[in-house]
Amino acid sequence: MAQHTLWESRRAFVLASIGSAIGLGNVWRFPYICYKFGGGAFLFAYVIALVLIGIPLLALEFAIGYKLKGSAPYSLGKLRYNLVGYEENEERMQRKGKFEWIGWFALLVSFGIVTYYAVIMGWATNYLVYSFKLSWGSDPRSFFYQHVLELSDGIFNFGRIQWPIVLGLAVSWIWIVLSIWKGAKTVGKVVYVTVVLPWLLLLVFVIRGLTLPGAMEGVKYYLTPRFEFLLNPALWHAAISQVFFSLSVGFGIMIAYASFLPPGSDVLNNAFLVAFSDAATAYVGGFAVFSALGYYARILGTTVDKVMKSGPELAFVTYPTIINHLPLAPLFGVLFFLMLLTLAVDSAFSMVEGSAAALIDKFHFPRKKANIGIAVVAFVIGILYTTGAGLYWLDLVDHFMNNFGLFVVALLESLVIAYVYGAENLRNYANSVSELKVGRWWSLSITALVPAASFVLLIYSFRQVLLKPYGGYPRVAEILGGWLLVIGFLVIAFVLSRRKSKEA
């Protein structure tokens, strides 16, 4: 296996992991989901899901990455032979791993995600420039859908490629590649800016938002608990899904990042720290969003629930509309899209870094060639999302990657650790190297809770798609952008895992 550059400090590792976990979803998904599923009641469920499911899975990924010192495919491929009693069995140690494909599948899913995540960065890059003149004018909705995206009337009507977005996509990819140019060495420096800066900007928006008239009305919608939701399975589904989506688990990233830790590092305390930092960011993001929505609702003379949006609609339509009403609007426009970009970039480069580390481990690709190779392929695929039908495909692929790819990986990872490697073995190992210790509850979570939760989520998502096509898209589109992609990734993962390592 190739030797990777190690993190220069614990702070660099923690910041990089936090940067990977924190992304656009913390600002444009969490607050909306929180409001939709009972405000404070959702927060309660979220904390429980975080502690009982999210943190154990994150700790699992940190522990196997740190122990086996390799990317996701390498580490998962080796797991088989770390069973108690196998260490001395040289013959078995020489045999090929059986779970390497899970690692490749996780990385392919994260690669699938980064192809469109970079396109969203491309939109934000354009909007950063538009902010200087508030180019979206008095109708940000028409500007976004008709001018920026030139959204077509159907998923198979591709319309034209939007060249300004392609340019923004190229800029984003150059930024991503430069950020991981020398692996952990470069990332460890970049994250001091790309993690700290969006946090500072988020605080600016919280303070600005809370000082606007009507802000507290928005916050009321965000925080006031509606306890009846606690009995609603949809709330628990939303809380557990949000924990999975937000922590960057199941993508193979955290395994690779932990593998760059030098000897003598901690595992469990870092996992708790990263998870709480991610949750705190989402929580604070809610104040930035809801205070602004409270202000906007007051201007329109309506209620907050009428103006509540999530996802790209919130960032590229609702927020520019609100910015129009602020003093120093261009400044806040620039700061807002700079915040989005810096929130997104470390998630994006962590997804590339996870794959680059695997290619370096397995095929001994030179690092810079691996970085550029992944970027070029992802850029070319990304052009699909810059067409008039791009938003539809983005939405469809995003749904399948998150609801099938991620849950499958989480399920398989936890099953392998629980029933092949032994959850107690990994817990003892993690405890032996960590400042914090976890009790048997951790093993119980890995053995029962995580597999059960991911299995239920998977079945639920499957059922939903079978009942009616996701988003009302045609079944053919669903097969092409969803099922074929997931199955194709599974096949590629198997093929890659069967290929001989260059070292062998």
Q: Which residues bind other proteins (CB under 8 A)?
A: 10, 39-40, 43, 47, 216, 219-220, 223-225, 266, 269, 272-273, 276-277, 279-280, 283, 435-436
Q: How far is the CB of 141 from other proteins (least distance, A)?
A: 30
Report in angstroms how near the CB of residue 44 gets to other proteins at its nearest: 8
Distance CA 115, CA 206 (A): 31
Torsion of CA 407, 409, 410, 412, to 10 degrees: 120
376 near 367, Cβ under 8 Å? Answer: no
Please, which residue, 224 or 303, has the CB nearer to other proteins?
A: 224
Q: Which is nearer to other proteins, 272 or 400 (CB)?
A: 272
Question: CA angle at residue 235 from 230 to 239, to 5 degrees?
Answer: 115
Contacts 24+ apart (CB under 8 A), 486-490: 486/400, 486/401, 486/404, 486/405, 486/408, 489/105, 489/108, 489/109, 489/112, 489/405, 490/101, 490/105
Quote the distance between the C-alpha of residue 57 and its chain's center. 14
To other proteins, the closest distance from the beta carbon of 206 in angstroms equals 13
> Least distance in Å: CB of 277 to other proteins?
6
AA identity, residue 66: Y
| CB of 166 vs other proteins, minimal distance in Å | 39
For other proteins, which is the closer residue by CB, 167 or 273?
A: 273
Q: Which two tokens stand for residue 21?
A: 């976990």
Least CB distance to other proteins at residue 461 (A): 28
For residue 237, the minimal CB distance to other proteins (Å) is 21
Looking at the Cβ atoms of 41 and 411, the one nearer to other proteins is 41
Report the residue number, 197 or 284, with the smaller CB distance to other proteins.
Answer: 284
Nearest residue (CB) to other proteins, 269 versus 501: 269
CB 385 within 8 A of CB 394: yes
CB atoms within 10 A of CB 298: 18
150: left (phi over 0), alpha (psi -120 to 50) or beta: left
Question: Minimum distance from CB of 230 to other proteins (Å)?
Answer: 13
> Can you tell me whether residue 291 is helix, strand or coil?
helix
Nearer to other proteins, 218 or 388 (CB): 218
- DSSP codes joined into one string, 173-242: HHHHHHHTTTTHHHHHHHHHHHTHHHHHHHHHHHHHHHTSTTHHHHHHHHH---GGGGG-HHHHHHHHHH
Q: Please state, in angstroms and rounded to a whole number, the distance separating the CA atoms of residues 312 and 367.
A: 33
Q: Which is nearer to other proteins, 45 or 106 (CB)?
A: 45
Using alpha carbons, list the distances in angstroms from residue 331 to 59, 109, 320: 40, 37, 12
Counting beta carbons within 10 angstroms of the beta carbon of residue 88, is it exposed (0 to 12), middle (13 to 18) or buried (19 or more)? exposed
| Secondary structure, 3-state, 373-410 | HHHHHHHHHHHHHHCCCHHHHHHHHHHHHHHHHHHHHH
CB-nearer residue toward other proteins: 242 or 277: 277
Shortest Å distance, C-beta 62 to other proteins: 13
| CB of 18 or CB of 416, closer to other proteins | 18
Between 6 and 41, name the residue whose CB sits nearer to other proteins: 41
Nearer to other proteins, 173 or 222 (CB): 222
Q: Least distance in Å: CB of 482 to other proteins?
A: 35
Cβ atoms of residues 486 and 498 within 8 Å: no
User: What does residue 503 show for φ and ψ, rounded to 5 degrees?
Assistant: -70, -30
Provide, rounded to whole angstroms, the least separation between the CB of residue 433 and other proteins. 11
Residue 41 CA to residue 44 CA, distance in Å, equals 5
Nearest distance in Å: CB 281, other proteins = 9
